[in-house]
Chain A
Amino acid sequence: MTTAPAPPVEDVSGAAAVSADTAATGTEDVPPTPRTPGEALDLLAVRHATGALHGPLGSLYLVDGQVVAADSDRAPGLVDLLTGCGRTTPEGWDGLLREHGPSGRVGEVLVERRLLTRGELELGHLGTLFDAAFFVLADPAGGTWRFEADARHWLGPVAEVEPDRLRREVERRRRLLDGIWPWPQLDTEPVRPAAHSRLPAHRASGRRRRELLDHADGRRTPADLARLLGRSGFGVTADVRRLAAAGLLDLPRHTTPDVPAEAGRAEADPAEADPARPGRPEPSAEPADRSGLHRRIPGATLRGPGLRTAATTTRATTTRATATPATAARATTTPATAAAHPPLAVPDPDIALLTRVRDLLEARL
């Protein structure tokens, strides 16, 4: 079992509300107080609860302890997939929802009316369920959680997922993102392509990532882009982090990334659990000490004082040595550079590209 993110203080009160509500569903033993949304979900599973678990970023719906649906503003839903590909119109969908939502028959009707085949419905449903659940459960911000007993989702029965499997998947995806580029701020800020990302020499690899760049206008967030392109929220989030890792984005200001202890590696082998991964250091406002491994010329991507941190950390991440004292010790136990991976380890194209971009930028200075 993987570890859940450290619970913020607010979670405790919110989750306590969860346990209070679930106690009402009828078990006599003293309810242990869940400390994280994940634990609350486990508790609801054990009790075979039916209802909706509402968190700050969305809701999970359970029937008899199994997760049957999830919604989040950060992830496009089934409606976005269907309107995006022209199978239905927003008006048509609203009518469907009004008519069959209250009885929880929308999924059934979609198949009856041949708007979707059974297979498509299952694929779309599971895809959007895992996608939304990721944002709901991986949200580090805390906030209030509450359980609404006996609430039913409008879709009705399509496919269910064990809470334990869902939690493992959320944790795996979180590690996957951090392995690509450990900068969660990217997930919610507008995506701003770097000026040089338009140059042919700096083309993003992959058609999907190029399309993403083409639609990033400096105002749209990853969630906006996901909805616009009808793609999964997680997929866009991962691609945005890959673009950042390739140096093709202007990074959000006033932020510092977490330390990429396993950057590159984690993506190469995302299934490998790493519960022993050390806790990450507190982000510091400004790296204090630049002495360390592989000094780089500062400011390779510098555009102004506000981006100083971004430029510095780009450099630091590339070299895997970081400027904060808290991580200096770890630098001795991890390879000094991304390029220092043994050649037979699965090479990460993003890290390789990042290294090339860095070298190019340095050559210009």
Chain B
Amino acid sequence: MPGIDECLSGAMTIAGARAASLVDWGSGLALGSLGDSPAGEYETAAAEATDLVRAAVESQTFTAAEERRAPLEDIIVTAGRSYHLIRFIDTVFDSRLVLHLWLDRDEGNLAAARFRLRALAEDLVLG
């Protein structure tokens, strides 16, 4: 049965993975991290990912037409050298958690990585 460490190790096995982090975007805390931090340290990366997530979650534009309980699934940022996948985790109790995966663009496959990250996020809470 996977815990946080297994989930993050699993994320790091995704092709092209450079870093994986489990972030509580209610507070900006990284509950766990593996790999190189894109921002030098995990705490900064978690805080900055939190800002991005909050901006999306609190906007009418991205959430108004969606289900109330879990309006967003992923936030994906593509850049010249990287992909960033942010996957929302839906727990039975109230929590505000995302899995943040930083991928090397040359080595990674966005579609496959998204599929795999989704499975990891589900395994973490469904067991």
Contacts and interface: CB of A to CB of B under 8 A. Distances in A.
Interface in B35-93: 39, 41, 43-44, 46-48, 50-51, 55, 57-58, 63, 68, 71, 89, 91-93
Interface string A209-250: 100000000000000000001111011001000000000000
Interface in B79-127: 89, 91-97, 123-127
A268 interface: yes
Given A111-B1, A119-B7, A119-B127, A85 B44 contact: no
A119 B29 contact: no
A172 B44 CA distance: 11
A117 B69 CA distance: 21
Given A118-B127, A130-B29, A232-B27, A123 B47 contact: no
Given A120-B125, A172-B28, A84 B93 contact: yes
B41 to A, nearest CB: 8
B94 A230 contact: yes
A130 B92 contact: no
Contact of B95 (A127, A176, A234, A268): A127
A230 B46 CA distance: 23
Interface of B: 1-4, 7, 24, 26-29, 31, 39, 41, 43-44, 46-48, 50-51, 55, 57-58, 63, 68, 71, 89, 91-97, 123-127
B126 A207 contact: no
A331 B2 CA distance: 52
Contacts of B124: 117, 119-120, 123
A231 B94 contact: yes
Contacts of B97: 123
A273 to B, nearest CB: 9
A349 B1 contact: no
A268 B51 contact: yes
A119 B2 CA distance: 6
A234 B27 contact: yes
A52 to B, nearest CB: 23
A271 B92 contact: no
A146 interface: no
Interface residues of A, number: 43
Contact of A120 (B39, B51, B91, B96): B91
A346 B49 CA distance: 13
* Among B41, B58, B63, B126: residue with most chain A CB under 10 A: B58
Contact of B27 (A120, A173, A209): A173
B26 A232 contact: yes
Contact of A82 (B2, B4, B71, B93): B93
A145 B3 CA distance: 34
Contact of B57 (A159, A206, A272): A206
Nearest to A130: B29
A271 B48 contact: yes
Contact of B58 (A114, A119, A205, A231): A205
A207 B63 contact: yes
A85 B69 CA distance: 13
B83 to A, nearest CB: 22
B120 to A, nearest CB: 10
Contacts of B50: 270
- Closest A-B pairs by Cβ, 7 of them: A117-B127, A206-B58, A81-B93, A119-B124, A271-B47, A271-B44, A235-B26
